[in-house]
């Protein structure tokens, strides 16, 4: 009996533990250990930092323009107070922190409140005024080649003299539209072809109402115009439409006003590659024309002809006369004025997540309004403007992301006065670094790709 029980036990164990010689059965697997999801990085965690720009021995100014060439910021024109327009300028290379003066002898006449675009080879400026906002309006301009450091004139335009026009570059032509001429607000425009040095009038049928202080952007196919004002200075009309212009067909089409932000003047507009974003600006109210600055905006999608809101949470304080640029990922806002007081704050708006992230206050340049600025590929460059004491400041700064330093010179380098001089038509920029002199002569160099027209500075109108 004992032997039988042993045989049964051995047989049972063989049946359970042996599967035709397959070996013992593995123990059950342990349940998976739950892991917490990795949080997405906070896009606002890194605020970046500011760096000073080398001094430039040119007068401070407002109402000047600036474009980005792919390598340098070209700044030109503007005014140092009422009836003091300038016809000088300079090129700034943020990689080397150096300035080179633009050639002066053949430059266009002094002006401010003009328009400027970058074509991929030249900066083209047009219009403005040579004395003040009421008189001496201009219908001429010039084209500046930074590689040759040379200005050339433009063929006479088919437009009346005016200031505060808006201009965009299409890849082939400069489109100029709107502004204010001697008779009042202008509602016409023209296209300039630099290859043929020729102007072509734009269709008037379907064009939006005449205006100034509006915004205009290029989508890659159309110019979109929005906002601005017309009428009397003390009874401004903001009930203005927007429109889109196709140069291939010379036709205007209206854009929807459903869901659009409140109308305004002196606002900024940028193109993201998909949407036009407008932000900030001012509305003058009552017979006294009291100024009410805005911190709101909107996003317009031309593919669907629809507007959508952008969040106000974390947005900069209401302002006008600041710099607004597109970085390829974010809209950057810095400086300007609120209630007649310049500010030194700003923020980045990320349309992909509808979120604002602050720019740092520490190390920021002095508060200012009516300055110029560009997106320099991976940094924001600002220069000029009018500070809180009313002075026209000839200073600037560069904002860069954390972990990046723009200047190729050592951080400990001591930068002294920049000396600008013309020698036989060539311009030399020199600066003192650690007691030694560096000089750079404008000459032949490879030209960078074209910058987008929205890198042009926001055009203010107040002195």
Q: What is the pLDDT of residue 30?
A: 67
The 10s digit of each residue's pLDDT in 198-207 is 999 999 999 9
User: How many beta carbons lie within 10 A of that of residue 354, not counting itself?
Assistant: 13
Q: Which two tokens stand for residue 46?
A: 């890194």
**Confidence tier at 403 by pLDDT (50, 70, 90):** low
CA atoms 16, 21, 24, 30: torsion sign: negative
Give, in degrees to the nearest 5, the angle at Cα 241 between 175 and 339: 90
Are residues 335 and 385 in contact, defined by beta-carbon separation less than 8 angstroms?
A: yes
Q: What is the pLDDT of residue 213?
A: 97
Measured between alpha carbons, how far is 334 from 413 in angstroms, rounded to an integer?
Answer: 27
Least confidently predicted of 43-47, 178-182, 219-223, 325-329: 43-47
**Confidence tier at 28 by pLDDT (50, 70, 90):** low
Q: Is the pLDDT of residue 86 over 50?
A: yes
Percentage of residues in the chain with pLDDT exceeding 70? Answer: 80
**Confidence tier at 27 by pLDDT (50, 70, 90):** low
DSSP 403: T
Percentage of residues in the chain with pLDDT exceeding 90? Answer: 72
Task: Please list the residues that pair with 73 across neighbouring strands.
Answer: 68, 92
Q: Is the pLDDT of residue 19 over 70?
A: no
What Å distances lie between residue 392 and 251, 368, 397, 458, CA to CA?
Answer: 42, 9, 15, 17
The 10s digit of each residue's pLDDT in 297-314 is 999 999 999 999 999 999
Least confidently predicted of 111-115, 278-282, 311-315, 458-462: 458-462
Q: What is the pLDDT of residue 408?
A: 52
- The model's pTM: 0.83
Q: What is the pLDDT of residue 446?
A: 34
Q: What is the pLDDT of residue 113?
A: 96
Task: Please list the residues that pair with 343 across neighbouring strands.
Answer: 368
CB proximity list for 428: less than 8 A, separation 6 or greater: 100, 419, 420, 421, 439, 440, 441, 442
Closest CA to 456 of 77, 52, 159: 77
Q: What is the pLDDT of residue 268?
A: 97
Give, in degrees to the nearest 5, the angle at Cα 322 between 319 and 324: 110
Phi, psi of 153 (to 5 degrees): -80, 170
Burial class (CB in 10 A: 0-12, 13-18, 19+), 307: buried
User: Whole-number mean pLDDT of the chain?
Assistant: 85
DSSP 377: S
> What value does the mean pLDDT take over residues 17-29?
53
Q: Is the pLDDT of residue 266 over 50?
A: yes
Measured between alpha carbons, how far is 401 from 48 in angstroms, rounded to an integer?
Answer: 4
The 10s digit of each residue's pLDDT in 430-458 is 333 333 333 333 333 333 333 333 334 33
Q: What is the pLDDT of residue 368?
A: 98
Are residues 450 and 374 in contact, defined by beta-carbon separation less than 8 angstroms?
A: no
Are residues 380 and 371 in contact, defined by beta-carbon separation less than 8 angstroms?
A: no
**Confidence tier at 260 by pLDDT (50, 70, 90):** very high
Q: Is the pLDDT of residue 3 over 80?
A: no
The 10s digit of each residue's pLDDT in 45-67 is 989 999 999 999 999 999 999 99
Burial class (CB in 10 A: 0-12, 13-18, 19+), 245: buried
The 10s digit of each residue's pLDDT in 364-378 is 999 999 999 999 999
Q: What is the pLDDT of residue 285?
A: 86
> What value does the mean pLDDT take over residues 358-363?
95
The 10s digit of each residue's pLDDT in 277-288 is 999 999 998 777
Q: What is the pLDDT of residue 334?
A: 98
For the chain, state the CA radius of gyration: 29
DSSP 9: H
Q: What is the pLDDT of residue 440?
A: 36
Least confidently predicted of 75-84, 141-150, 348-357, 451-460: 451-460
Record: fold of 49-415+443-455: Neuraminidase (2.120.10)
Q: What is the pLDDT of residue 24?
A: 56
End-to-end Cα, the chain, rounded Å: 116
Q: Which two tokens stand for residue 283?
A: 């509305």
> What value does the mean pLDDT take over residues 243-247?
98
Q: What is the pLDDT of residue 423?
A: 31
The 10s digit of each residue's pLDDT in 411-423 is 333 333 333 443 3
CB proximity list for 104: less than 8 A, separation 6 or greater: 87, 88, 422
- Coil vs helix vs strand at 11: helix
Q: Is the pLDDT of residue 425 over 60?
A: no
**Confidence tier at 82 by pLDDT (50, 70, 90):** confident
Q: What is the pLDDT of residue 6?
A: 44
> What value does the mean pLDDT take over residues 351-355?
97
Are residues 270 and 280 in contact, defined by beta-carbon separation less than 8 angstroms?
A: no
Q: Give Cα 250 distance to the centre of its chain.
A: 27
The label of the residue with tokens 């290379």 reads 93
Q: Is the pLDDT of residue 326 over 70?
A: yes
**In residues, how long is the chain?**
463
């Amino acid at each position: 009996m004992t032997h039988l029980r042993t045989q049964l036990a051995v047989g049972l164990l063989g049946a359970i533990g042996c599967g035709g010689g397959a070996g013992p059965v593995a123990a059950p697997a342990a349940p998976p250990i739950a892991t917490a999801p990795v949080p997405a990085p906070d896009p606002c965690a890194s605020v970046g930092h500011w760096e000073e720009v080398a001094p430039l021995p040119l007068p401070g100014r407002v109402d000047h323009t600036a474009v980005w060439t792919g390598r340098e910021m070209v700044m030109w024109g503007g005014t140092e107070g009422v009836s003091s327009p300038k016809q000088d300028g300079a090129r700034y290379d943020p990689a080397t922190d150096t300035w080179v003066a633009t050639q002066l002898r053949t430059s266009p006449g002094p002006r401010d409140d003009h328009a400027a675009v970058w074509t991929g080879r030249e900066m083209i400026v047009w219009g403005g005024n040579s004395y003040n906002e009421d008189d001496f309006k201009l219908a001429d301009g010039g084209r500046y080649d930074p590689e040759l450091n040379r200005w050339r004139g433009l063929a006479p335009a088919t437009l009346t003299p005016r200031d505060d026009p808006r201009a965009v570059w299409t890849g082939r032509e400069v489109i100029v539209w709107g502004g204010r001429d001697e008779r009042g607000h202008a509602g016409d425009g023209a296209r300039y072809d630099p290859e043929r040095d020729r102007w072509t009038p734009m269709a008037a049928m379907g064009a939006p109402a005449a205006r100034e202080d509006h915004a205009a952007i290029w989508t890659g196919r159309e110019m979109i115009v929005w906002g601005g004002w017309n009428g009397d200075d003390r009874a401004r009309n903001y009930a203005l439409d927007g429109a889109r212009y196709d140069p291939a067909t010379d036709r205007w089409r209206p854009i929807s006003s459903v869901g659009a932000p409140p109308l305004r003047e002196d606002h900024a507009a940028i193109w993201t590659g998909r949407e036009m974003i407008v932000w900030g600006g001012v509305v003058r109210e009552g017979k006294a024309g009291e100024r009410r600055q805005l911190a709101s905006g909107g996003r317009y999608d031309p593919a669907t002809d629809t507007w959508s809101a952008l969040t106000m949470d974390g947005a900069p304080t209401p302002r006008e006369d600041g710099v607004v640029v597109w970085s390829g990922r974010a809209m950057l806002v810095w400086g300007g004025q609120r209630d007649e007081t310049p500010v030194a704050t700003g923020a980045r708006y990320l349309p992909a997540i509808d979120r604002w992230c602050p720019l740092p206050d520490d190390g920021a340049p002095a508060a200012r309004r009516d300055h110029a600025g560009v997106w320099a590929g991976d940094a924001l460059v600002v220069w000029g403007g009018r500070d809180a004491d009313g002075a026209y400041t000839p200073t600037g700064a560069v904002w860069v992301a954390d972990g990046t330093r723009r200047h190729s010179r050592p951080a400990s380098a001591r930068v002294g006065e920049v000396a600008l001089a013309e020698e036989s038509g060539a311009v030399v920029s020199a600066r003192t670094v650690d007691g030694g002199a560096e000089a750079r002569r404008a000459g032949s160099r490879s030209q960078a790709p074209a910058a987008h027209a929205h890198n042009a500075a926001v055009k203010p109108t107040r002195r």
